[in-house]
A = this chain, B = another copy of it.
Amino acid sequence: MRLSELGEFGLIDLICRTIDNSKNLQYASWQKLLIGIGDDAAAWQTDDHIQLATTDTLVQNTHFNLDITPLEELGWKALAVNLSDIAAMGGIPKYALVSLALPGELKVDSISKFYNNMLHLAEQFEVAIVGGNIVAAPNIVINITVIGDSRGKAMLKRSTAFPGEQIAVTGYLGLPAAGLEMLKGKISLDLETSNILRQGYLKPMPKVAEGQILVEQGVKSAIDISDGLVIDLDHICEASKVNARIKMEQVPLHPIIKAVFPDPQQLALYGGEDYELLFTANKTIMHRAKQALNCPVTIIGEITEEKSPERVTAVDSKGNVIPYKKRGWEHFKDETSKA
């Protein structure tokens, strides 16, 4: 079987099963592991704290295209997607390793600017860039690993959502996906609007402080929205063995995409790269979390018992079920990937 037939998530399942045999050996690193493959970050116990680590890769012509997003401006985003994974665990990012595969014909100045762009974000979250490596390659590949600490013993996981809990999301959705549409030249807009869309796509702000507040308030389950709201909620449902029901009209569309794009719902549900936090909690904790967070929080639905293999159900304003589309970002499967 080819990878294109199995797809990204099928491959991840296969890798997990392959590695599971090794877990049976029960040496110290496995014994101290709290969260392995399948959440936003790995977590393990050290003598005095819980360590988190996550890694993410941006590939030229898969995740970005230099015609649309110059290398100079990619540093921020490349780091942001990793900080967002730490945020989705409720953790504190500390150190980053940056690996670049680069073609020799690139301008040195662009690479310098790439680092400066990344450092602007690193400094905001007091992350130190402490290592990495540089290799020659025919196309650009950016791989960043971020290592951090949990806040105390609690973490946000994908596997801890329970039936009856409310589902909420920080901020507004759809802006980055709309920004990409615009940058691809599919829509032309006034300068101010196009700047906001461009920033939305290129400079996502990871919800690091927000993730830590969620942990403090007793929230247990979260994910960051990278693949798209529906597919990321599906990840929570799969890990927690539950279903989810969301009300389409409650999904917080970004005001700009509501005003400008013909189908803003599609962008908000399936666009991805929002890097907002999607989380679940019972009413009491949800109320507390909403009070504590310094950002918009919208309740968009609730977790239900596991009944259907189509784990996420969306209903329209009249309560009618909208046919489920498992879409969003998945690698290798041409029909679903954005490329």
How would residues 127 to 171 of chain A score, 1 for a CB under 8 Å from any chain B CB and 0 otherwise?
A: 111111111111101010101000000000000000000000000
CA distance A138 to B29 in the complex (A): 34
* Pairwise interchain contact B14-A112, C-beta atoms closer than 8 A: yes
Given A56-B133, A134-B331, is A22 in contact with B145 using a C-beta cutoff of 8 Å?
A: no
Complex contacts, A106 vs chain B, CB 8 Å? 2-3
* Pairwise interchain contact A22-B55, C-beta atoms closer than 8 A: no
What is the CB-to-nearest-CB distance from A338 to chain B, in angstroms, rounded to a whole number?
11
Q: Indicate whether A321 reaches chain B with its CB closer than 8 angstroms.
A: no
Complex contacts, A101 vs chain B, CB 8 Å? 57, 59, 62, 141
What is the CB-to-nearest-CB distance from A4 to chain B, in angstroms, rounded to a whole number?
3
* Pairwise interchain contact B33-A128, C-beta atoms closer than 8 A: yes
* Pairwise interchain contact B128-A30, C-beta atoms closer than 8 A: yes
Q: Out of B8, B41, B111, B129, which one reaches A131, CB within 8 Å?
A: B41
Complex contacts, A22 vs chain B, CB 8 Å? 119, 122-123, 128-129
How would residues 32 to 50 of chain A score, 1 for a CB under 8 Å from any chain B CB and 0 otherwise?
A: 0100110001101011110
Q: Out of B3, B62, B119, which one reaches A18, CB within 8 Å?
A: B119
Interface of A is mostly: mixed
Q: Indicate whether A126 reaches chain B with its CB closer than 8 angstroms.
A: yes
Complex contacts, A59 vs chain B, CB 8 Å? 101, 135-137, 141
How many interface residues does A have (CB within 8 Å)?
83
Given A3-B107, A29-B126, is A53 in contact with B131 using a C-beta cutoff of 8 Å?
A: yes
Which of A92-100, A209-217, A255-263, A279-287 participates in binding chain B?
Answer: A92-100
Q: Out of B3, B116, B334, which one reaches A108, CB within 8 Å?
A: B3
Residue ID in chain B nearest A35 by CB atoms? B130
Q: Indicate whether A68 reaches chain B with its CB closer than 8 angstroms.
A: no
* Pairwise interchain contact A2-B126, C-beta atoms closer than 8 A: no
CA distance A179 to B141 in the complex (A): 28
* Pairwise interchain contact B130-A332, C-beta atoms closer than 8 A: no
Q: Indicate whether A105 reaches chain B with its CB closer than 8 angstroms.
A: yes
Complex contacts, A126 vs chain B, CB 8 Å? 25, 27-29
Q: Indicate whether A63 reaches chain B with its CB closer than 8 angstroms.
A: yes
Given A29-B126, A141-B141, is A15 in contact with B46 using a C-beta cutoff of 8 Å?
A: no
CA distance A44 to B199 in the complex (A): 34
Given A25-B123, A111-B11, A112-B18, is A130 in contact with B53 using a C-beta cutoff of 8 Å?
A: yes
CA distance A127 to B25 in the complex (A): 11
Q: Indicate whether A192 reaches chain B with its CB closer than 8 angstroms.
A: no
What is the CB-to-nearest-CB distance from A201 to chain B, in angstroms, rounded to a whole number?
18
Q: Indicate whether A54 reaches chain B with its CB closer than 8 angstroms.
A: yes
Q: Out of B37, B97, B123, B137, which one reaches A53, CB within 8 Å?
A: B97
6 example contacts (A-B, Cβ-Cβ < 8 A) are as follows A11-B134, A29-B94, A33-B128, A37-B131, A55-B131, A145-B145
User: What are the 7 closest A-B residue pairs judged by CB atoms, nearest first?
Assistant: A4-B104, A29-B128, A42-B130, A42-B131, A27-B126, A136-B331, A143-B143
